[in-house]
Amino acid sequence: MKGFAMTGPNKVAWIEKEKPKAGPKDAIIKPTALAPCSSDIHTVYEGGVDLGGEIRILGHEAIGIVDSVGSEVTDFKPGDKVIVPAITPDWSAKASQCGFHQHAGCLLGGIQFTTFRDGSMAEYFLVNDADGNLAIQPDDMSDEAALMLTDMVTTGFSGAENANIQIGDTVVVIGIGPVGLCAVAGAKLRGAGRLFAVGSRPNCINIAKEYGTTDIINYREGDIVEQILNETNGEGADAVIIAGGNSETFAQAIQMAKAGSTISNINYYGVQNYEGAGDILPIPRFAWGAGMAHKTITGGLCPGGRLRMEKLINVVEQGRMDPSLLISHRFKGLESVEEALYLMKDKPRDLIKPMVTL
Ligand code: NDP
Ligand code: ZN
């Protein structure tokens, strides 16, 4: 079969591979829609994943049709239309039993695609622990919405969940690409009062408003800490979600957060973002109360697995959020994942999220 792979640092290519075979707990999926992710770009072009010379197929955002299942899979059968989360852990791993399935097996071990096995940008791909990791796509759910649940929605929502938002809190979401936009929607669902969104792309700003932002802050028009402090009478935010930017942004988030607040990071600090900062993310000493500010900093990989997808399906089916608004560019045919990936790399101003239909 054909797949679009990372063949080395900064290198991608089409490759031929044998169609995967399902082990006892696995399912083989024929994708029906795919999306590239900013994380694919970090993986290939920013040293995000070291494959140690291996060639691995890219892609972790997919929906599809079950092609075959292993002998121990009980809940799915060939022909089922399924949503495949980006995070597909081994649910019997110790970390999963501790409540941190994202780190099953090792740090970030829940992200199996590309890191440990071939991803979904192929004619077929394998999903481990199928009963724990697949969810049925409801007949009345659009492919656009279903596809966005696999990574964008679960990630953005987890930013809001980890931020411990209380009803009426003042919340800032820094970065309103597709991930940050889902954090905005998640913050609204969690009961945010005033809800700032930091970004500059006009179509992202429109969706941010649609998802419940009350105030837009443009980071290109001045220091965002000053802008947030001015708008909040110098008080700052109860919760800050970081969904874009660099190590300086990380420091700014801490500066605009009140004492007792939570800073929730879902952004990925790749090699490019480290420019000038080395391997250390800065915590500003004064804003950190010289270590005594009661500010909680948390950061997490998005939750995956079947139950998470089923809960997100519930959110969409009840009309609480429409993830299909995130799709700004459409492509047809497996071969166009290449163009979609380059689009994600170049990030034109009108891009939110591309979708490839197969
Ligand atoms: P985008 O590049 O589409 O969005 C980034 C956002 O950050 C844009 O709104 C951009 O503004 C804004 N931004 C850029 N620079 C700054 C700055 N200096 N200060 C403030 N805002 C800034 O990315 P995605 O939404 O696709 O992804 C966001 C991050 O989430 C990525 O790092 C991705 O790897 C990560 N991610 C994390 C996951 C997880 O599980 N934790 C899962 C999936 C993705 P502008 O409007 O000008 O473009
Ligand atoms: Zn992703």
What CATH number is associated with residue 194? 3.40.50.720
Q: Is the pLDDT of residue 335 over 90?
A: yes
Q: Is the pLDDT of residue 245 over 80?
A: yes
Give the per-residue pLDDT at 51: 85
Assigned token pair, 268: 């990925």
pTM for the model: 0.97
Give the ligand with the smallest distance to the CA of 200: 1
* Cβ partners under 8 Å of residue 206, min gap 6: none
Give the per-residue pLDDT at 272: 59
Ligand 2 centroid – CA 46 distance (Å): 14
- Residue 347: CATH number of its domain: 3.90.180.10
Shortest-distance atom of ligand 1 to CA 37 = 26
Contact 156, 179 (CB under 8 A): yes
Contact 344, 41 (CB under 8 A): yes
Give the ligand with the smallest distance to the CA of 155: 1
Same domain, 308 and 350: yes
Shortest-distance atom of ligand 1 to CA 200 = 46
Q: 45 CB less than 6 Å from ligand 1?
A: no
The pLDDT > 70 percentage for the chain reads 98
Show which of 250, 277, 299 is a domain's final residue. 299
Same domain, 13 and 147: yes
Residues paired with 263 in a beta bridge: 240, 297
Cα(199)–Cα(205) distance, integer angstroms: 7
Shortest-distance atom of ligand 1 to CA 152 = 43
Query: pLDDT grade, residue 123 (50/70/90)?
Result: very high
* H or E element in which residue 261 lies: strand 257-265
Same domain, 327 and 274: no
Give the per-residue pLDDT at 270: 75
Range of the domain at 206: 158-299
Show which of 299, 320, 345 is a domain's final residue. 299
Q: Is the pLDDT of residue 16 over 70?
A: yes
What does the mean pLDDT of the chain come to?
Answer: 96
Same domain, 217 and 293: yes
Contact 80, 136 (CB under 8 A): yes
Same domain, 295 and 306: no
Mean of pLDDT values over 331-338: 98
Q: How far is CA 235 from CA 29, 77, 212, 282, in A?
A: 50, 55, 22, 22
